[in-house]
Structure 1
């Protein structure tokens, strides 16, 4: 079997790396430029337009929707190199990874015509309104309501942990259009402009510095029926597909592996790599990064072959969390107090690893899904 990238994708990676070397300032990857910081978000708004101008923002989308018509692998090469550099696209990766593809598959022609081009040009940001105070790990328990009102719906409820909502233009939002007893069968997806009257966004301060989470309150928010994605009460199928894209949309193992290389260089100059215990810890972290990469590649292979999303995405997501946490723990162990210095490799990786098990689906929920969907273990 041949596991190497084909020449076209390899050439794309070389061009992309050269481009990022020119475009990104020295030290971009340090924590003060981290995801969620004002510096990062402001920069990303300009950066994504530069990418769009080169056809590199949505290379995997069909050309008729502003994409480059390229395959899933080129899109993922793009994601790997971006995450190695601290994801300079900022929140835009959500737009291009799963919001746009969901619109392409389930949207009306009007929705595609009006909503996709601004994403492809890098002009708008989207956020994702899924979790609620009483429905985080169990989305089927969400309580935000959407009630028919003329030629639209009235939305009332609350979302929490909504990344980048304070700067987003639109929200990919879940609301209950059926009864609570309907469970998953009574959920619909709305494409909500966040400047709609009745929407209030409140930031949630991060305890490790940068802020990216928010609460979103909806009080008698009227949204036209044209902003309903797919059919009423049938949003769960859209959600399942969206989550499968989200699970591997951020290849965090690529960033963790790069940090690991830097930690190895740091340790080598201080003579720490002669310690068998340190060697073992580096080996375990490297193995976890490689395992995550290969599991993610299995998911991308399915996507490249137009297969339906599978539980392998849950496996890959859990493996990425393990890799990020292993590198974060290693940084603290080998660097000691130096890892606590703001802007150091240890500091940046530790911050990233704290959120690794929450963002894009909590680690524990992924393990539960793996036991049920892959191992076929009975529920207790």
Structure 2
């Protein structure tokens, strides 16, 4: 079997790295802070430069403003971005799964209107999935969309909505059927956040700058044309979307780079000769590599045009373990210095806290693995 990247993908990575190293030499996500105004402003400008070079949506079809390069080049881009702290900010959602969902399920009018601003790096999207009583169980969501003439009236609440305070649109789930319908009564709406009746409220966090929000919908009216796909058929879109989201953030790439930095720190501190520390480094490296290989299996399925499989849940769980292992290692070897704000230890520990929550909790991934891969009975 041949595990190497193609010459074209390797050349793309080389060109990308040559551009990113000087471009991001003075930027680190840990200094700007996830969700901070400085971080968001930087991201808006940065993605426009990527778009101008054709590197924001290289994997999209050419007819929709992409480069037509396929899944692997897209993932090369993702690895290099996440290795450097993801300077695209929320744009990775736009290009990884919001845009592809619109390409697959959208009307020609939706594609014509919504895709070009994404390819130019001009808009932010957020994800309106979780609710106060429907976080890991999306089928229990209560936000309602009631048909009224040529549109819908939305009422409900979303929570933990990253970047909603900065976003232009929300990829929103709402119930158009009855609660008894479960998954069969859910629809997807492409909601402009300046719609009357939409209110965004901050949720203060303890691991860095503000990024989470609540979104309240009070008699917010949207045209029927804002619905993505068929009414009550949103779960198919959600299932595909979540499969893309699970591996859309290759966190292992950043964890592996932090691990290299920690090794250099230990070498300078005279700690790297300690067999116990060597073992910790070895374990963390194995977890990073295992996560990478599992993610590559998912990307290989995508590149071959296969339907999303449960392998994405394995990959997602493995990335959480890698992030946590490197975070724990940083605290162990750096001691009190890991508590210094913006230090590698501080930054990695903060990242590892969020790793098991963002894009679906770690525990939920384990439940899905037990049910869909191991085929274990429900407890």
TM > 0.5: yes
Aligned position for 2:18: 18
For 2:155, the equivalent position in structure 1 comes to 156
What is the alpha-carbon distance in structure 1 between the residues aligned to residue 231 and residue 315 of structure 2?
Answer: 31
Query: CA deviation digits over 1:90-146, x for unaligned, max 9?
Result: 100000000000000000010001000010010101000000000001000000000
Poorly superposed stretches of 4+, deviation over 4 Å: none
Shift of 1:37: 2.2
Structure 2: segments with no counterpart, 5+ residues: none
Whether the 8 Å CA contact 1:34–1:86 is kept in 2: the answer is no
CA contact (8 A) 1:161 1:213 kept: yes
CA-to-aligned-CA distance 1:266-289 (integer Å, 9 cap, x gap): 001111111111111100000000
Q: How does 1:312-323 map to 2 (within 5 A)?
A: 312-323=311-322
Q: Does 2:169 match 1:170?
A: yes
- 2:132 corresponding residue in structure 1: 133
- The number of equivalent residue pairs is 379
CA-to-partner distance for each residue in 1:217-257, whole Å, 9 max, x for gaps? 00000010000000000000000000000000000000000
**What is the deviation of 1:30?**
5.2
Q: Using the TM superposition, name which of 146-155 and 30-39 deviates more.
A: 30-39
Q: TM-score, normalised by structure 2?
A: 0.99
Cα RMSD between the aligned structures?
0.7
Aligned position for 2:339: 340
User: SS at 1:211's partner residue?
Assistant: coil
1:233 aligns with: 232
The answer on whether the counterparts of 1:17 and 1:81 sit within 8 Å (CA) in structure 2 is yes
Aligned residue number for residue 242 of structure 2? 243
Structure 1: 5+ residue stretches without partners: none
CA contact (8 A) 2:29 2:39 kept: no
Superposed, 1:1-150 pairs within 5 Å as 1-26=1-26, 28-29=27-28, 31-150=30-149
Q: Matched residues in 1 for 2:70 and 2:178: separation?
A: 40
Conserved in 1, the CA contact under 8 Å of 2:29 and 2:86? no
Q: Following the alignment from structure 1 to structure 2, what is the Cα–Cα distance between the partners of residues 201 and 30? A: 24
> Does structure 2 conserve the Cα–Cα contact (< 8 Å) formed by 1:35 and 1:87?
no
CA positional deviation for 1:39: 1.5
CA contact (8 A) 1:137 1:365 kept: yes
Q: What CA distance in whole angstroms lies between the structure 2 residues aligned with 1:360 and 1:143?
A: 20
Q: Which secondary structure does the structure 2 equivalent of 1:327 belong to?
A: helix
Separation in 2, partners of 1:203, 1:242: 25
Alpha-carbon displacement from aligned partner over 1:59-108 (angstroms, at most 9, x marks no partner): 00001100001010000000000001111101000000000000000000
* Contact 1:165/1:216 (8 A) holds in 2: yes
